[in-house]
Structure 1
Amino acid sequence: MTQTTNPLVFLEALHQEIQQTEYGQQPVELYEPIRYIMNLGGKRMRPLLTLMATYLFSDDWRKALKPAIAVEVFHNFTLMHDDIMDQAPLRRGQPTVHEKWNNNSAILSGDVMLVNAYGLLLDVETQYLKKVLTRFNRTAAEVCEGQQLDMNFETRWDVTEAEYIEMIRLKTSVLLGFALEMGGIIAGADDENSALLREGGINIGLGFQLKDDLLDVYGDPAKFGKQVGGDIIANKKTFLLIEALQQAQGDLKTELSGWLSATEFDKTEKVRAVTAIYDQLGIRQLTEARINDYFTRGFASFGQVAADPARKALLTEFAEQLIGRES
C-alpha cells in the first residue's frame, strides 16, 4: 500500500478541488454568495477527516474528494443560515453573506448550497451511495435539531449539563462524526469500523466545542482570534455558565444572578467579575477534565479501528493538532 504521511497532500488536493467546483452561473446574485463563503477559508477539518478516513482503508482516497467537499458545502450552508439567525456581522473576519448582500439572498443561496451538497454526494460509488445518503440525511436533520435546541436555550435559565451536551452533540459533533464515517464507508470499511470512526469523531467534536467554550473565557486574546469573554458579555449558555449556575450558592449565586440580569454594565468589569466567580467554583478545572474525557473517548474509538497503524497515526496526529489549538 502506498503511504501518504503528510496531511498537506490531502489539503492541497482539497483546495484544488474546491477551486474547480462549479455551483452554477446565472443569476450571478444567487451563486456569487456561495463562491464568496466557500473562499473565506476555515480549517477544512471535516473534509480532511473524510479523506484521512478513506485513506485508512484505501490507497484511492481521491475518490472521496467530491463527497468530502459535500460535507464542507453543507457545513458552510448551515453557517450562512446560522449567521442570519444570529444577526452576525462577521464570519472568519469578513462580512457575513447577509451583510454583504441581504437576508433573502443568503437564504436562497444557502438553499442552493444544500442542493449542491447532494449533487457532490452523487459521486459516491453506487454500492455505497444509499448508505451514505441515508446517514447524511439523518445527520443533516440532527444538525437542525441542535440549532433549534440552541435557540430554545436562549430563553431558558434551567438548561442542564445533559441538555447542553446533547445540543452541541447534534449541532456540531455529529457532522464531524459523519465526515469520518463517510470516509470509511467510501473506502469499503465494514459497519463496525465505520461506527467506531463516527463515535470517535462525535467525542472529539464534543471536546472541541467545550474547549471553544473554555477559550472564550480563558484564551489568549492574541491567539484566540476573537474577543475573549464574548460569551460572558452575551449571557450565552455555555458549559461553564451552566455549571456555575448549578453550583453557585449564597453570595456567589446572588452576584452571578446580578450580572446576568444587568442591562447596563461595563463589559470589562462583567467579564472580570464572572470569570472570578468561575475561578472560585473551580469551573475551569471541571471543564478541562470534561474536555480531556471526551478526547480520551474519541482516541480510544480510533484505536479500535482495524486499519494500518501508520495510517491511524496520521489521523490521530491530525486530530491532536486540531484539539491542541488556541484559536
Structure 2
Amino acid sequence: MNTSIFLKTLNEEISQQNYGENPVELYEPIRYIMSLGGKRLRPLMTILSTALFTDDWQKAVKPAIAVEIFHNFTLMHDDIMDKAPLRRGKPTVHEKWNENIAILSGDVMLVQAYELLLFVEDAKFKKALKRFNRTAAEVCEGQQLDMNFEKRESVSEEEYLEMIKLKTSVLVGFAMELGGIIAGADDNSCELLYQFGINIGLGFQLKDDLLDVYGDPDKFGKQVGGDIIANKKTFLLIEALEKASGETRETLNYWLSLETFEASLKVKAVTEIYDQLGIKKITEDKINAYFNIGFESLKSLDIEESRKAALIEFTEMLIDREV
C-alpha cells in the first residue's frame, strides 16, 4: 500500500473534522493549528502500524487523528510556555489570539482526542485508553523536565535523553502501539512496535538537534543556529561541555555567558568548537544507533517482510530528511 494514499485519507478526514462552532473564538484556533499541516508523522505511523496486520487500515484513521490532535494540543500549550511567536512559519495561536484563548482551545483539543479514541473497537478500547493516558502524562513530565533544565547550569546526557524520550518519543511509540492494538496484534507485537517508535523518535529528535546547527538554511525553513543563540541544552551542547577543556572550554563558556552578542558570530564560534570536538560525528553515531535499535525491533516482528515495506520506506525517508 502506498503511503500517499494513507496521507491523502488522513488530510481529507482532518479537513472534515467538526470541532464545534460557538463561541467562534474557542473553535477557530483549533481549525487554524490543525490546518498548518506538518508531517503528520504520528497518525501516519498509526495507520502504517495497523496495515502491518490487516488490509482494513481505514478503521485506524479516526484514532490516528486523535494522536495528531493531541500532538497539536501539546504544541499549542508548549508555544505559550516557550513564548514562541511562530509555528510552522505562521503566528502561534497565543500570538494570533491571546494566551487565555490558546489555553482553553487546547483543553478542547484534548477532549476531541478522547472523542476520536472512542472509534477504537470496544474490545480493544480499554487497553488503548490506558496506554494513551500514560503517554499523555509522560509527555507532560517531559515538558516539565525541559523547563527545569532551562534553570539548571548542567544537564547530563542521560537526563537529556530521558527528557526527550518523554517529551517526544513516547508519543511516537504510542502511535505505533495504537496501530497494533487496533489491528488486534498480540501484546509482544505491540511492545515491539512501541520500542520501534520510541527509538525512531529519539533518533528524530537528535536529528532535529543536529539540523539546527548543521542544516542547510535554504532547506531547513528556519534560522540555523537557533539553539546555539538560545543556549539551549541540546545533545550537541551537552557533549561539547563534557568534552571541552582548556582554552576551548573557556571560549565555549565565554559565548554561553554573554547576554548581548551578534548572533551570527556566536553561531559561528560555537559551531567551530563543535567541529574541533567532533560533536557532529558523535551525534550522528548516536542517531544511527537509535535507528538501528528501532529497526531491530521491527525485524523481530513475526509478519511477512512485504507487509513491512511501506513502514520501512516511510521511516527511511524521514531519516534521510534535511528539514
TM-score tier, shorter chain, comes to over 0.9
Residue type of the partner of 2:176? L
Q: Does 1:305 align with 2:281?
A: no
Q: Does 1:242 align with 2:238?
A: yes
Which of 2, 12, 16 does residue 16 from structure 1 map onto? 12
Give the deviation of 1:21 after TM superposition.
Answer: 1.2
Local SS of the residue matching 2:52: helix
Give 1:204-283 correspondences, 5 Å limit.
Answer: 204-283=200-279
**Using the alignment, how far apart are the partners of 1:177 and 1:302 within structure 2?**
12
Give the deviation of 1:158 after TM superposition.
Answer: 1.6
Q: Does 1:187 align with 2:158?
A: no
Instruction: Name the counterpart of 2:281.
Output: 285
Give 1:108-119 correspondences, 5 Å limit.
Answer: 108-119=104-115
Which of 21, 36, 39 does residue 25 from structure 1 map onto? 21
Q: Does 1:318 align with 2:309?
A: no
Q: TM-score, normalised by structure 1?
A: 0.98
* Unmatched runs of 5 consecutive residues or more in structure 2: none
**Using the alignment, how far apart are the partners of 1:280 and 1:15 within structure 2?**
45
Local SS of the residue matching 2:303: coil
**Using the alignment, how far apart are the partners of 2:7 and 2:210 within structure 1?**
28
Q: Which runs of 4+ in 1 moved over 6 A?
A: none
Give the deviation of 1:311 after TM superposition.
Answer: 1.6
Q: Which segment is superposed worse, 281-290 or 308-317?
A: 308-317
**Using the alignment, how far apart are the partners of 1:187 and 1:320 within structure 2?**
23
**Using the alignment, how far apart are the partners of 2:91 and 2:260 within structure 1?**
28
Q: Does 1:296 align with 2:292?
A: yes
Q: Which segment is superposed worse, 205-214 or 300-309?
A: 300-309
Instruction: Name the counterpart of 1:83.
Output: 79
Cα deviations across residues 62-112 of structure 1 (Å, max 9, x unaligned)?
Answer: 001110000000000000000000111110011100000000000000000
* % identity of equivalent residues: 70
Which of 124, 128, 134 does residue 132 from structure 1 map onto? 128
Cα deviations across residues 114-151 of structure 1 (Å, max 9, x unaligned)?
Answer: 00000000010000000000000000000000000000
Residue type of the partner of 1:116? Q
Cα deviations across residues 142-176 of structure 1 (Å, max 9, x unaligned)?
Answer: 00000000000001122000000000000000000
Give the deviation of 1:267 after TM superposition.
Answer: 0.8
Q: Does 1:166 align with 2:162?
A: yes
Local SS of the residue matching 1:57: coil
**Using the alignment, how far apart are the partners of 1:13 and 1:302 within structure 2?**
25
Cα deviations across residues 260-292 of structure 1 (Å, max 9, x unaligned)?
Answer: 000111111111110111111111110010000
* Unmatched runs of 5 consecutive residues or more in structure 1: none
Alignment root-mean-square deviation, CA: 0.6
Cα deviations across residues 266-325 of structure 1 (Å, max 9, x unaligned)?
Answer: 111111110111111111110010000000011111111122211211101100001110
- For these two proteins, the number of residue pairs brought into alignment is 323
Which of 35, 45, 56 does residue 31 from structure 2 map onto? 35
Instruction: Name the counterpart of 2:150.
Output: 154
Instruction: Name the counterpart of 2:49.
Output: 53
Residue type of the partner of 2:73? F
